[in-house]
Amino acid sequence: MKLIWQIDPTEIDALQRFVHAHKDTPFVRFRIEKNVENPPHNVSPEHFWEVSVGCLLTSQQRSGPQSPVSRLLNTKPFPLSLSFLRAQTEPDVAAQRVLQTFGGIRFTQRIPEYLSANLAQLQEERWLHTQSVLAELILQRNAEAERKAADFIRLHYTGFGPKQSRNLLQGLGLSRYEIPIDSRITRWLNQFGFPVKLTAAALSDPDYFNFVSNGIQSICQQAGLLPCVLDAAIFSSYDNDGWTDENVVW
């Protein structure tokens, strides 16, 4: 049995017009620059760590342009950097203290537990394996390699489900086709007329997530769009263009 994703000309036109309407917003421009035109040639453990921390924070709470999470991620030097936590005898306790002191951050006990577990991964041989997976993705730049890398992150890093793993790849600038499908994306797709009624809860299942992701990629291909750019346009539309060149993180 084979499912064919088909979009009619009026829907293609509507999709293209929607993305075009947001093409000059900082969030969309940043996504095109980082993920399409100038993707990274390598990923350092420090950068991987910082983006992974951001993914864990944004998956637990609102992360709009003026949110505490965005302000924390834009703080320089980064308060939860790899070097800082590696220097701590109890990194989970130190991370909890940072989050509670900063204010406005939710789940200040759960997230530090995730950070401590993932820190241990990077201090072992897991980083070498991670680096190999990311290097393969940098070379191939296709949907299959992106899904393989997302599955690796989901299986080996604590707190990373199907959405968060893709959020990490997108934040690193390494993905164009696999996007982090969350409540905003599902709401927009349902309103647009996606042929399957979507719920964010069902997307915690990796197979269902892949099924929906296949549909998004097929529809975007027919419209001549990259999923990562559609994702940025949707986010920009919900945040009422609150992103600026200064507060866009990734």
Please indicate, yes or no, if residue 250 is contained in any of the structural domains. no
Helix axes 183-192, 9-21, angle to 10 degrees: 140
Please indicate, yes or no, if residue 4 is contained in any of the structural domains. no
Categorise residue 40: left if φ over 0, alpha if ψ from -120 to 50, beta otherwise. Answer: beta
Please indicate, yes or no, if residue 248 is contained in any of the structural domains. no
Please indicate, yes or no, if residue 3 is contained in any of the structural domains. no
Residue 92 and residue 145 in one domain = yes
Query: How many CB atoms are located within 10 Å of the residue 223 CB?
Result: 18
Please indicate, yes or no, if residue 140 is contained in any of the structural domains. yes
How many structural domains compose the chain? 2
- Amino acid letter at 110? R
The CATH number of the domain where 104 resides is what?
1.10.340
Residue 58 and residue 149 in one domain = yes
* Cis check: omega of the bond before 77, within 30 degrees of 0: yes
CA distance 10 to 93: 54
Residue 246, pLDDT score: 43
Tell me the CB-side half-sphere exposure of residue 99, using CA atoms within 13 A: 22
Residue 159 and residue 216 in one domain = no
Please indicate, yes or no, if residue 82 is contained in any of the structural domains. yes
Residue 55 and residue 163 in one domain = yes
Please indicate, yes or no, if residue 244 is contained in any of the structural domains. no
Residue 113 and residue 50 in one domain = yes
Task: Quote the domain boundaries for residue 30.
Answer: 9-39+179-238
Residue 199 and residue 95 in one domain = no
Q: Nearest-CA neighbor of 127 among 41, 51, 35, 43? A: 43
- SS3 of the chain: the string is CCCCCCCCHHHHHHHHHHHHHCCCCHHHHHHHHHHHHCCCCCCCHHHHHHHHHHHHHHCCCCCCCCCHHHHHHCCCCCCCCHHHHHCCCCHHHHHHHHHHHHCCCCCCCHHHHHHHHHHHHHCCCHHHHHHHHHHHHHHHCCHHHHHHHHHHHHHHCCCCCHHHHHHHHHHCCCCCCCCCCCHHHHHHHHHHCCCCCCCCHHHHCHHHHHHHHHHHHHHHHHHCCCHHHHHHHHHHHHCCCCCCCCCCCC
Residue 144 and residue 206 in one domain = no
Please indicate, yes or no, if residue 231 is contained in any of the structural domains. yes
**Tens digit of pLDDT at every position of the chain (250 positions):** 566 777 889 999 999 999 999 999 998 999 999 999 999 999 999 999 999 999 999 876 666 667 888 888 888 999 999 999 999 999 999 999 999 998 888 888 999 999 999 999 887 778 999 999 999 999 988 999 999 999 999 999 999 999 999 999 999 999 999 999 988 899 999 999 888 888 878 899 999 999 999 999 999 999 999 999 999 999 888 866 554 444 455 5
Residue 56 and residue 153 in one domain = yes
